[in-house]
A and B are shown apart, each in its own frame.
Chain A
Amino acid sequence: MKKTLFDKIWDAHVVETINGDHQILYIDKHFIHEVTSPQAFDELERKGIPIANIASIVATADHNVPTVNQHLPIQEQLSRLQVDKLIENCKKHDIELYGLGHPYQGIVHVIGPELGITQPGMTIVCGDSHTSTHGAFGNIAFGIGTSQVTQVLATQALLLTKPKTMRITVNGQLKNNVFPKDVILYLLMHLGTNAGTGYFIEYAGSVFKEMSMEGRMTVCNMSIEMGARGGLIAPDETTFTYLQGREFAPKGEEFNMKCQQWSKLFSDQDAIFDKAYEFEASDISPMLTYGTNPGMGIKINEVIPKIKNTSDEKALNYMGLQAGQQLLNKAIDYVFIGSCTNARIEDFRIAANYIKGKTKAKNVEVWIVPGSQQVAQQIKEEQIDAVFEAANIPIRQAGCSACLGMNEDKIPAGKYCVSTSNRNFEGRQGKGARTILASPLTAAAAAIEGKIIDVSQLN
C-alpha cells in the first residue's frame, strides 16, 4: 500500500490498536521545560509511579528565564521557584538538564535540533505547542498537555487517534527578500487558523526542498497556528548535512547507516493525502499581520481587509488599526528578533546583513534574543555582535523572551512591536501589546527605519 511519510513514521511506532480507533503510540524523545512539567512530576510522585525511560528525556529552562544578567538569581520569585522546581525534579530523577549557565541552554525547539537530538523518523513530544518545529527533520513531533506529559513520563507512550494527513505543495522560485517566515504567514493568510485541525501537514515542493534547515524549522514551527498538531518535511541531503557532526547525532559508520535508513522516509508516489493544497512561490510577498491571530495577514504593500464580523472588529480595535489602512510607513515602538520561530543563526545573519553600517532608529527599542547559548556563541564567532552593537542594539541572552509575556521581557500596553515570533494574540507579548508578525528582514528594517518599510524593494 502507498504510504505518506507521516503514515510510515506513525505506523512504525504503534504499539497496539484498540477498537480500531485508538492507538498506543510509542514516543522516542521527550523534551521538558519548567512551565508544563511540575504538575506532571507531582502526579507521578503522589501515585508512586516511576519514570519509564529517563534516557529519552532532555530538559531546559527557557520560558521564565531573564535575557539579561543570567548569572544572577532570577528576580521574579514565581519564575525562580518554577525553574528551581525543574532543577529539583531533574536532579531527583537523574534527567539531563541544560539549565541556566549550561553551554547548551536555550529555547527547547532550538537546542533539540542544534544538538542533533532531533532526528528523522522519530516520535517527539514536549509540553509546548511549537514542538511542531522538529518536524523539519522528517519526524512526528507535536505539543502535548501536562496530563500527556505525565503519561509519557510514566509509560513512554500516548493513547491517540491517528490524525489525518494534509499536503501543502509550494513550487517555483521565491521572490527577492521573501523568507520562510513569509511563506508560512502567506499559507496562514490563505488557509486560516483552523484548516489544519485534526491533520498533520507535509510540506512538499521545490520551495521546501531548496530551503535551509533553519527555514524548514520556521515553517514547521507555525504549523500549529493552522491548527495542525504538527508539520513535517521529508529528510534529504540538507537534513543529513545539518546533522552530521552534531553533539548527539550518530557518528561515523553508524551515521552513514542511519542516513541510508532516513533516505527511505518520503511519501510514496501516489500516496493519498486526506487534503492537498498547492501554491505558487511567485505569488508570495513579504508578509505582515494586522490582527490578533496569525491568519490575519496581508502582503506588505496591501491594505487591511474589510471587517467581516465582530471578532474582526474586536481585533482591529485592539490593534488600533482600521480596515483599508496600509501598514507600510507605520511608526513602530519595539522590534523583537527571537523565539523558537526565528532565533537561529540564519535569522541573525539576515538581520545583520541589513543592519550593517546603519544605526537603530531613536524611537524604537530593539531586542535581539538568540535562541540558545550556542547561537549566541556563533553570533560572536561570526562577529555579527559587532554589527548590532555598532547600530546601538545590544544582544540579549538566550530564552523565549518577548514571545509570550511570561518572563521579564514584555512589550508595554498600546505599543506596536514588529516581531519575528509566532503569535499575535491579544496580550501575547504583554498585556495590551500590539504585535505585528514579520520576517527577520522586515523586523531589522523596522529597527533601523523606525517604521515598517517595503523590504521587497530592497536589493
Chain B
Amino acid sequence: MDKFQTFTSTALPLNIENIDTDQIIPARFLKATDRKDFGNNLFRDWRFEEDGSKKAFVLNQAHEANILIAGNNFGCGSSREHAAWALYDYGFRVIISSFFADIFRGNALNNGLLPLQVSEAQLSNLFKIIEENPTTQFTVDLEKETLSSNAFLEDISFEIDPYKKMCLLNGYSDLDFLLLKKEQIEQFALSRF
C-alpha cells in the first residue's frame, strides 16, 4: 500500500445519495484476476453510452481532481473491493461524504483511499462551494486531520481511527499486523478445540 501524503487538488461533486458499489464498478467488470486498470470502468454506466461515447457526467469534464465529494451513504451494497480499486486507480485519494457504508469504508482504508466523513451541513456547504467555483482547491492533511481551502475560513477537522491513520501514513496493512500475531491466533485456535 502506498503511503498517504498531504496533497492539494480540486474536487469533483457527485451529489447523489446511496451510491452503491454496483454503480462504482458494475459486476460485468469484475472478471479480472488482478487488481489493475479498474479505473477505466469506474462509474462505467454513468460515464459512457452503449456505443462508448461520453455522457454528460461530472467525471467526463477535464479535471485533475484527486477528491470526490459524494452524497450520503456512499459505497453501500456489494462487498466488492474492486470499487475501492477502481476509485484509486482512476486517481482519487479521498472520498468525502456524510456517511460511508461499512464494508466500503474498510475496503477503502485497506487500499490507501481515505473515506473522509463530514457532517451533513459541511457536505452541502462543500457542494455549494464547488458549484460556485469548480476550480476551488482543497488540501487534505491526514496528520493534522484537517480539510482546508481558501474558500472557507476555518479548517474542517475530521476524525479517523488512530490505528487506521497510522496504517495510511506508513503504508501498513492489517495483514502485516495480523501476521505478527499469528502464533497467538494459533494458540487460541488450539485452546478452543
Residues of A within 8 A of B (CB): 15-16, 18-19, 21-22, 24, 26, 35-36, 38-39, 42-43, 49, 52-53, 63-64, 78-79, 81-82, 85, 127-129, 143-148, 150-151, 154-159, 161, 193-194, 197-198, 224-225, 227, 229, 293, 309-311, 314, 404-406, 413, 423, 425-428, 431-432
When the two chains form their complex, are residues B107 and A145 in contact, meaning their CB atoms are under 8 A apart?
A: yes
Taken residue by residue from 18 to 53, chain B's Cβ proximity to chain A (1 for < 8 Å, 0 otherwise) reads as 101011001110111111000000000100001000
B66 interfacial by beta-carbon distance below 8 Å? no
Q: Given the complex, which residues of A lie within 8 Å of B77, measured CB to CB?
A: 129, 224-225, 423, 425
Chain A: CB-nearest residue to B180: A155
Q: Which of these, A53, A127, A193, A405, contacts B189 with CB under 8 Å?
A: A53
* Residues A154 and B179 in contact, CB atoms below 8 Å apart: yes
Given contacts A16-B184, A406-B30, A428-B22, contact A194 B177 (CB under 8 A): no
Given the known interface contacts A129-B103, A155-B185, the answer about A314 and B110 at a Cβ–Cβ threshold of 8 Å is no
Which of A78, A157, A311 lies in contact with B185, CB distance below 8 A?
A: A157
Closest chain A residue to B15, Cβ basis: A310
Counting chain A CB atoms within 10 Å of each CB, the highest count among B45, B77, B82, B99 belongs to B77
Smallest Cβ distance from A82 to chain B, in angstroms? 5
- Beta-carbon contacts under 8 Å, B156-187 to A: 161-163, 173-175, 177-179, 181-182, 184-186
Nearest 7 pairs between A and B by C-beta?
A145-B81, A78-B31, A406-B27, A38-B33, A147-B110, A145-B107, A143-B79
Stretch at the interface among B4-12, B57-65, B68-76, B136-144: B68-76
Please give the residue numbers on chain B whose beta carbons come within 8 Å of chain A beta carbons, in ascending order: 15-18, 20, 22-23, 26-28, 30-35, 45, 50, 71-73, 76-82, 84, 99, 101-103, 106-107, 110-111, 161-163, 173-175, 177-179, 181-182, 184-186, 188-189, 192
A-chain residues with CB within 8 Å of residue B30 when the two chains form the complex: 35, 63, 406
* B81 and A146 within 8 A (CB): yes
Q: Which of B18, B82, B161, B189 has the most CB of A within 10 A?
A: B18
Nearest Cβ on chain A to B176's Cβ, whole angstroms: 10
Specify which of A79, A128, A154, A413 is in contact with B79 (CB 8 Å cutoff): A128
Other-chain contact of B76, A43, A49, A193, A431 (Cβ < 8 Å): A193
- Across the interface, do B161 and A161 meet the contact criterion of CB distance under 8 Å? yes
Q: Across the interface, name the chain B residue whose C-beta is closest to A16.
A: B184
Chain B residues positioned under 8 Å from A19 (CB to CB) = 162-163
Give the CA-CA distance A82 to B32 in the complex, in Å: 7
A293 engages B189 (CB within 8 Å): no
Partner of B22 from A42, A309, A425 at Cβ < 8 Å = A425
Give Cα A158–Cα B185 distance, bound, in whole angstroms.
Answer: 10
- Cβ of A15 and Cβ of B161 under 8 Å apart? no
Centre residue among A159, A423, A432 by max chain B CB count within 10 A? A159
CB atoms of A309 and B184 under 8 A apart = no
Q: Is the CB of A151 within 8 A of B192?
A: no
Pair A82/B31 contact, Cβ less than 8 Å: yes
Known: A144-B79, A310-B16, A426-B45. A197 touches B101 (CB 8 A): yes
Other-chain contact of B99, A197, A224, A311, A423 (Cβ < 8 Å) = A197
A35 to B33, alpha carbons, bound, how many Å? 8
Which residues from B are CB-within-8-Å of A82? 31, 33
Known contacts A49-B179, A158-B174: A427-B45 contact under CB 8 Å? yes
CB distance from A356 to the nearest CB of B (A): 34
How many Å lie between the Cα of A53 and that of B173 in the bound state? 21
Sample 27 A-B pairs with CB under 8 A, ordered by A number: A21-B163, A38-B34, A42-B33, A52-B185, A85-B33, A144-B79, A146-B82, A146-B107, A147-B110, A147-B173, A148-B174, A155-B175, A155-B179, A155-B185, A158-B178, A159-B178, A193-B18, A194-B99, A229-B102, A229-B103, A405-B27, A423-B22, A423-B77, A425-B22, A427-B23, A431-B45, A432-B45
